[in-house]
Amino acid sequence: GAQTSRPFQLHQPQDKVSVPEGGTLTLTCTTTGDAIPGPVKWLKGWGSENKTIYDQKMSIPRVTRVVNGSNTDFTILISDFRPEDAGTYYCVKFRKSVTYGNELFCHGKGTEVSLREPALIPGLVAAAVVLCFLLLLGLFVALCMYRRKRRGEADTPCQARLVAAGKFSAIPLRCCAGTPDTPSEVLDAETSHLPDQQSRKEDNDIHYADLQPLPAAPWRGRSPGATCSEYASVRVAAK
Q: List the CATH number of the domain containing 74.
A: 2.60.40.10
The CA distances from residue 173 to 2, 34, 41, 182, in Å, are: 129, 116, 101, 18
Q: Is the pLDDT of residue 121 over 70?
A: no
On whether residue 33 sits in a domain, the answer given is yes
pLDDT confidence tier of residue 227, bands split at 50, 70 and 90: low
Q: Is the pLDDT of residue 226 over 70?
A: no
- List, in order, residues 6 or more apart from 186 with CB less than 8 Å away: 180, 209, 211, 231, 233
The confidence score (pLDDT) of residue 196 equals 52
Q: What is the extent of the structural domain holding 72?
A: 9-115
Tens digit of each residue's pLDDT (9 = 90 or more) over 180-195? 444 444 445 444 554 5
The confidence score (pLDDT) of residue 164 equals 41
**3 state SS of 220:** coil
On whether residue 192 sits in a domain, the answer given is no
The confidence score (pLDDT) of residue 149 equals 85
Task: Kindly report the number of other CB atoms within 10 A of residue 215's CB atom.
Answer: 5
On whether residue 217 sits in a domain, the answer given is no
On whether residue 68 sits in a domain, the answer given is yes
Q: Average the pLDDT over 121-133 and give the result.
A: 78
On whether residue 94 sits in a domain, the answer given is yes
On whether residue 22 sits in a domain, the answer given is yes
pTM value surpassing 0.85:
no
Q: Are 236 and 207 in contact (CB under 8 A)?
A: no
The confidence score (pLDDT) of residue 180 equals 46
Q: Average the pLDDT over 145-173 and give the result.
A: 58
Phi first, then psi: give them for residue 183, nearest 5 degrees. -60, -30
On whether residue 23 sits in a domain, the answer given is yes
Question: What is the residue-averaged pLDDT of the chain?
Answer: 75
Least confident of 178-182, 218-222, 233-237: 178-182
Distance between CA atoms of residues 175 and 219, nearest Å: 10
Domain total for the chain? 1
Q: Are 24 and 77 in contact (CB under 8 A)?
A: yes
On whether residue 234 sits in a domain, the answer given is no
